Amino acid sequence: MPKVSRPTPPKFSAQPKECLKAGFDHYIRYSLNRDKPSDQDLYQALALSVREQLMDNWRDTRVRNNQFSDRKVAYLSLEFLMGRALGNAALNLNLTDDARQALKGYGARLEEVAEQEQDAGLGNGGLGRLAACFLDSCATLDMAVLGYGIRYEYGMFTQQFVDGHQVEQPDRWLRNGTPWEVKVPHHNVLVQFGGRADTFCDDQGRRRHHWVDTEEVLAVAYDVPIPGFNNRRVNTLRLWKAEATDEFDLSEFNQGDYSEAVARKNQAEQITMVLYPNDSSENGKELRLRQQYFLSSASLQDLLRSYLGQGGDVGDFAKHHVIQLNDTHPSISVAELMRLLMDEYGLGWDQAWSVSSRTLAYTNHTLLPEALESWPVALMQRLLPRLMEIIFEINARFLEQVAQRWPGDGHKLRQLSIISDDADPAVRMAHLAIVGSFSVNGVAMLHTTLLTQGLFHHFHQLWPQRFNNKTNGVTPRRWLAHANPRLSALLTERLGKQWITDLSQLTALNAYLSNDSFIHHWREIKQANKQRLAQLVYQRCNVEFDTGMLFDVQVKRIHEYKRQLLNLLHVIHLYRRITAGDTANMTPRCVLIGGKAAPGYALAKRILKLANNVAYMINADARVRPFLRVAVLPDYNVSAMEIICPGADLSQQISTAGKEASGTGNMKLMMNGALTIGTLDGANIEILDAVGSENFFLFGLNAQEVEQARQHYQPDTYLQRSPALRGVIELLQSGHFNLLEPGLFQPILDALLSPADPWMVLADFDAYLQAQERVAEAYLNPAHWTRMSIRNTAASGRFSSDATISRYRDEIWSLAPARPCRQGETPDA
């Protein structure tokens, strides 16, 4: 690498505590010019002061990353559900106590000031939260990893309940700006759409392609720092914002055509306006495709330009880079990288394919075929004509391999083809990702098995060495050290601080299982955390949770396969028992449900309405309240989960077996000592293996039994067998929970009672009831329950994202540790 001649920026000589306090006071006095700062002012000043503390390390990290080490990683994801940044950054920089002291002079508490930060609206569910955990682990493990995402102006939506119905409001998370980003315009690139693909002969007489007459959009780069834990590494999450190449057409504006003058600007900015626009319309589909290509093209251009700018050889790009595609959304990268290598950098097809297919790796996150994206060929040809040409060629060459492997098998050709064999053909993006990647991984052992034996079975037959498993994990910094400070302090007192970066050390907790004092202390911490959760529930739902009751929690995206309906059927069953006077030895419980339904998912929204109606009936009944309370938390997000995890007693992971890829909420909750009630699905299987069957409430059909039962599934059979189930369904049918809204829940009843119900809710009801009865019995013995809680936390080490990322590093990325920054080096800014 050429030696950089620019002078080294001066570094602070003061200690971090002094720097933080001085910077904080400076921002309050001079930047904000406040005599009596508000909590929002204090937050802005503190965030900027904390960010200032990591700037030198951020520059040093870029220097280290610019060396030609073995490999660097780019992690492409359409979502990064980061949560609030202040507390996590202060923790990783060891500045939490210093931040408290800085605020003390203004009579403020860190917890209250931190509440001023909006959750970054860059993700929705587990996919985005996993990406955020991975970035934290990469930085903590000192890996050169650059995240790439989209800087959405609005998050998915802010959820409100009006008369029990979900109402979506814009999530204006950038209303007050964010101090956690730095605009880096020298990384801006142009992204093309539309136009046509043309051919020409170059000076050597070679046939070349270029993409002409295109609509260009400017991808503007914003960098977000990702600090490792106490190790001076600060990686980068680069987010792209779409802008027009020109603000507006001045001549049209001067002629009075105001709307047309700004039309191009508005159309460009739509690309990054909203996370996951509703794709039920053709315009929505096109916008989703624009988003995915925008992310992929901008990121690949940035990587190539940076590498070549350092003197790299484009033919060696794969030796120094691996690009991890987080799910199917960025899989258009396969065709785009080929386009860039051939059309922009002059490689021939074979060399470009060699580079591309040795660079890209694909993580699959779903077993639901409908969630594997496909785009109509007609749309692709109109929006991305050059890429469609490349995809046709990739598919033709791939099908030659299939034909060689299975001669004369037209069925295999149709099954495996990247282009569907339909009246309206579509590009199967998961197939494109598999064909164009050197690694394809699932995210839990069962998930990977079902991928290789089912969904992608023939691909696995063709390339068995390409498939592997990497069970998901969650970062213990945010989800234990930060979210549960009381428990974190106890762990550090007994085990030392090393557990924060080596969660396997929590197995030492098993030595305290017979220590009555420790068990009592653990239970006191849980009660304090339950009180904090009860306050959140009261603030958001106006429902009083009693901390002496079992806190039974199901928080996740609302979807039929996650079976919030099964939970509600059990709640209604308990309601029936209580109103019938059957309360002898009943364990009182508070049930918390949280999650958002996609705006276009009508049945999921109806399920939320049912949950709210059931909660209203239960909470309004004086006979029921001593035994059962229910709350549906609006606008569930990362910050809420940071309060829910420490306060939960029971974690509901009750999806239909074979449908959940992994799940990470299950890991966060068990890490904080919640016990799991769940099916043999996703990572539940590995949690069960880690904690033992005596510390896990297992129920229901397994994936193989689900498939067998599906062939002859008759809900009436289960109704006839189970008086409890029959009573619940009859109460629903009576309209008891929708007295003034006749027929409101008929679609739910129709789904439950249909032999075609793919989630087979009624098949697992009795087993679920029995498991919940075991939960209730176990909770009546506090010492026994607390020991089970301790065992869950002690066994959570294998579910740290540090462990997961270590396996990515060793088994997929082949990433060597970056060397320390040399004295006097400065970054390539």
Nearest to 662 by CA among 432, 441, 331: 441
**DSSP structure string for 618-666:** HHT-TTTTTTEEEEEETT--HHHHHHHHHH-SEEEE-PPTTT-S--SHH
| Active-site choice (62, 466, 556, 791) | 556
650: left (phi over 0), alpha (psi -120 to 50) or beta: beta
- Concerning whether 556 is annotated as a catalytic residue, the answer is yes
**Structure tokens of 181?**
């980003």
Nearest to 46 by CA among 140, 117, 151: 117
User: Greatest CA separation found in the chain?
Assistant: 90
Helix axes 782-794, 516-541, angle to 10 degrees: 90
**Number of H helices and number of E strands within the chain?**
34, 22
- Concerning whether 329 is annotated as a catalytic residue, the answer is no
Burial readout 24-48 (b: 16 or more C-beta within 10 A, e: otherwise): beebbeeebeeeebebebbbbbbbb
- Concerning whether 664 is annotated as a catalytic residue, the answer is yes
163: left (phi over 0), alpha (psi -120 to 50) or beta: left
The 3-class secondary structure across 665-704, one letter per residue, is HHHHHHHCCCEEEECCCCCHHHHHHHHCHHHCEECCCCHH
Residues in a beta bridge with 572? none
Beta strands in 107-187 (DSSP E): 145-150, 158-162, 165-169, 182-183
**Structure tokens of 405?**
């492997």
* Residue 652 near residue 567, CB atoms below 8 Å: yes
**Structure tokens of 729?**
């369904």
CA dihedral over 610, 616, 619, 623, signed as positive or negative: negative
Nearest to 418 by CA among 306, 314, 335: 335
| Active-site choice (51, 470, 562, 577) | 562
Query: Distance (Å, rounded) from C-alpha 460 to C-alpha 454?
Result: 10
Q: Could you tell me the end-to-end alpha-carbon distance of the chain, in angstroms, rounded to an integer?
A: 14
* Residue 46 near residue 24, CB atoms below 8 Å: yes
Residue 311: how many other CB atoms lie within 10 Å: 9
Please enumerate in sequence order all residues whose Cβ is within 8 A of that of 513, keeping only pairs 6 or more positions apart, or say none. 519, 787, 790, 791
- Concerning whether 668 is annotated as a catalytic residue, the answer is yes
SS3 215: strand
Alpha-carbon separation of residue 128 from 80, 148, 156, 275 (angstroms)? 4, 12, 12, 11
Nearest to 301 by CA among 401, 217, 404, 212: 217
| Active-site choice (668, 787, 798, 809) | 668
Beta strands in 522-588 (DSSP E): 550-555
Query: Distance (Å, rounded) from C-alpha 594 to C-alpha 279?
Result: 24
Q: Give the phi and the psi of residue 385 in degrees, each rounded to 5.
A: -60, -40
- Concerning whether 557 is annotated as a catalytic residue, the answer is yes
| Active-site choice (61, 363, 664, 676) | 664
Nearest to 537 by CA among 482, 595, 592: 592
| Active-site choice (557, 605, 791, 798) | 557
- Concerning whether 21 is annotated as a catalytic residue, the answer is no
Catalytic sites, residue numbers: 365, 556-557, 562, 664, 668
